[in-house]
Structures are given as C-alpha cells and as structure tokens.
Structure 1
Amino acid sequence: MTDPIRTLIVDDDFRVSGIHRDLVDAHPGFQALPPVRDAASARRAIAEMEPQLLLLDVYLPDGDGIEVGRESGVDRFVLSAAADAATVRRAIGSGALQVILKPFPPNALHDRLSAYARFRNLLARDETALAQDDVDRALAAARGGIEQGPARDETRRLVLAALAGGEASAAEAAERAGVSRATAQRHLAALAAQGAVAVSLRYGSAGRPEHRYRRP
C-alpha cells in the first residue's frame, strides 16, 4: 500500500477549511494535514510538514494564496470565490493544476483529487524517459480532462488490472487504479460489454444491490 498523499488546506474561513479537510480525509489515498488560515502559517507548515498537495484560497489575511503556491513549488489546486478571468489566468499561470470556484459540490473536489492521484501514478514510473503518450496522459489527468485515444486505453488497462486481485466493486477498482469512481464505472461497463469482465450482483440487508466485477 502506498503512503497517503499529504494535503495542506490554506483558507482563512475555519468552517470552509474544516469541510475541505473532511472531504480530503474521506477520499481514499489522501491525508489532510491540519489546516492553516494565513500565508505565514502556510509557509511554516509547508517547510515543516512537507505536503505533497496544497488546496489554496486566494485571499488570505496577510497575503496572496496564489503567490504562496508559486513560491512553494508544491503541486496545488486553487479553491476560491474569485471568479474573475484575471485571477483565474493568474492561478493557472502560476502552475495550479486545478482551479475550483467556490461554492462547489463535494464531488467536484472528489473527482479532481482522483484525477490528481492518477497524475501522480502516471509520473511515478521508473522509466528513464517518458514517451509523449505518457506526458499527454499525465497532463490530461492533471487537468481532469476527457480521455481519448491512448489515454482512454491506458485507463481501461489500469481498471482491468485492478481486478487482478479478485472481485471488486467500481469504488474498489477506482481506488486501486487511482481514478474516480465514475471513470472506473464507465470503463467497467465497457469491458463488461466486450466480455472482458463478468458482472454479478451482491444483495445487502437494505438498499440497492451492488455490482461486482471480476475477470473471467
């Protein structure tokens, strides 16, 4: 099992940062570090706790979240109510992998965290050099884009490989493959239609039956 991705939330609203912390902790493969509320605390936390991902608000009491992210060199999302084009361009130009406008539904952050986990997986290989397809897949994952061609085929291969350990639900396959549940579900449905995976139903004590997938 790989170590969880340490994620630091920087937001001056403690209620908002608490919500984001809970969303991160609820996502498989991620660990929320104690949130901080200003630029100075963010810089100290980055130096001391070495997060691998930052979730940054733009307007902080003592500075600018976009600049904190730029200085850090750490992978980052910008989460802000600042919806003007100039701020969004500045966030993207600073190197933010995602810009999410507040308020947003929980699945918006969940899906982007899944995409980021896939981005890290694609760039964690031991090859001495990457092919252009590898770079294209990583960039598509980082931006949460719609996969086409080779990127789609690679995702399908990862989802199929996730069943090597035995039967799994779409959520379990998604966690193993480092993709969102919706992405795993889409590819599993396509693989089932091709006969590459078998589908069965598991009935619980209540609620809808769960689809289970396995390799024939």
Structure 2
Amino acid sequence: MSQPIRVLVVDDDFRVAGLHRDVVASRTGFTALDPVHSLGAARQAVRAHAPDLLLVDAFLPDGDGVEFIAGVDVDAFVLSAATDAATVRRALRAGALAYLTKPFDARVLAERLDRYARMRNLLATDRPLEQEQIDRALTILHGSAEPASVARSATEQRILEGLGDDEASAAEVAERVGISRATAQRHLATLAARGQVEVRLRYGTTGRPEHRYVSARG
C-alpha cells in the first residue's frame, strides 16, 4: 500500500488554514500536517516533516509565498485572493501545479487534490516515461477540456461496467463488452483523461509494457 500524501497548509489566516487542512484530512490517501502561518514556520515544517505537497498563500506577513515555493523542492498549489494576471503568471513560473482564487468551495480543492493524487500515481515509476503517459498525467492534473456535466456515452458506460473492480487490458475489456480492441482502447484512453479510470503498466521480460486499466474509485 502506498504511503499517504503529506500536505502542509501555509496561510496566515488561522480560520482559512483550518478549513483547508480539514479538506485535506477528508480525502482518502492524504495526511494533513498541522498548518503553519508564516514562511519562517513553513521552512521549519518542510525540514522537519518533509511534506509531499504545499498549499501556500501568495502573500504572507514575513514574505512572498510564490518566491517560497520557487525555492523549495516540493510540489505546491498557490491559494490566494490575488487575481491579477502578473501574480498568476509568477506562480506558474515558480512551479505551482494549481492556482485557486479565494474564496472557493471546498469541493474545488478536494477535486484538485484527488487529481493530484491520480497524477502522482501515474508517475510513480522509476522507468522512462512515454509521451502518452506524460500527456495523460498533465491532463489528469489540469482536467479535461470537456465539461464535467457531459454524460458518458453508452459504450463508455458498458466499458466501466465490464471493467468493474478488476484490472484488465483493453483486449480483455473488449472481450467482456463485445466490442473491438481498438474501440475499447480509444474509450479507455478518454476515460483515463477524465480521471474515471487509472492506467497501470505491467512490465514483462521483453518488449513494451502492457497497459492495464482499473476503475478510479473515491
């Protein structure tokens, strides 16, 4: 079983920091560290607790949160009331994986955390990555261009039902559902881009790794 993702909230507003911590704590696979309220405390917490992800306000009493994330080797989201384009661009240049403008609904942060977890899962390998894997990881993190309200096609619904709780290849799914392998593979790729299925690689002794699919739950 993989280790939980350790998340540190850095925000000078104690109430807001607590709300963000509670969102983190509510997500399966995450551990919320005690929030900190200054960059000085954040530096100490990073050294002491080695978080996997930072949720950092752009502006803190003792310095610039964007400069902070640029200087630490830790994944980070910027959560800020600042909506000017210059700050957003600066955060992206600093390496922010997401920029959420306050105030936002707790569901927005929860969704971004879940996407981040799926992206980490896809990239959790020491083997060289194919371009398709990199593209899929970025799509999962930032979301599909397709609205979330778009209903699944009938074929995609059949594929998800055929997949069930098992891990299977495109060929195995195709056999279960009664469609061609190419059709199954195309729809599985679409479902993976939406984060509705996860892709795992099975390495044999020779040749390219086999893509295996499993339904994304939770």
Instruction: State how far apart, in whole Å, the 1-side matches of 2:98 and 2:195 are.
Output: 18
Q: CA deviation at 1:117?
A: 0.4
Displacement of 1:183 after TM fit?
5.1
TM-score when scaled to structure 1? Answer: 0.69
Size of the aligned set, in residue pairs, is 163
- Change over 3 Å in CA distance of 1:132–1:99 after alignment to 2: same
Q: Which residue of 2 aligns with 1:26?
A: 26
Q: 1:51 to 1:132 in 2, by over 3 A?
A: same
Quick one: distance in 1 between partners of 2:69 and 2:88? 14
Distance 2:145 2:139 in 1: 7
State the secondary structure of the residue aligned to 1:41: helix
RMSD value, Cα:
2.7
Spell out the pairing of 1:74-89 with structure 2 (5 A cutoff).
Answer: 74-89=74-89
Give the aligned partner of residue 194 of structure 1.
none
Q: Deviations over 1:89-144 (max 9, x none)?
A: 10011110000000000110011001100110110034x21110011011112223
Q: Deviations over 1:141-195 (max 9, x none)?
A: 2223447xxxxxxxx9999767128xxxxxxxxxxxxx9xx954xx7xxxxxxxx
Who is 1:136 aligned against?
135
Amino acid at match of 2:78: V
Give the structure 1 partner of residue 43 of structure 2.
43
Inter-partner Cα distance in structure 2 for 1:47 and 1:160: 46
The aligned residue for residue 164 of structure 1 is 166
Q: Distance in 2 between matches of 1:41 and 1:162?
A: 46
Task: Structure 1: give runs of 5+ residues left out of the alignment.
Answer: 148-155, 166-178, 188-212
Match of 1:171 in 2: none
The verdict on how the C-alpha distance between 1:72 and 1:140 changes in structure 2, with shifts beyond 3 A counting, is: same
Q: Deviations over 1:47-67 (max 9, x none)?
A: 110000000001101001111
Gaps of 5+ in 2: 147-156, 168-190, 198-216
Q: Pairwise mapping of residues 1-216 of structure 1 onto structure 2 (< 5 A)?
A: 1-126=1-126, 128-146=127-145, 163-164=165-166, 184=196
TM-score normalised by structure 2 residue count: 0.68
Identity of aligned residues (%): 50
Taking a change above 3 Å as real, the CA distance of residues 158 and 24 of structure 1, as seen in their structure-2 partners, is: farther
What residue in structure 2 maps to residue 176 of structure 1? none
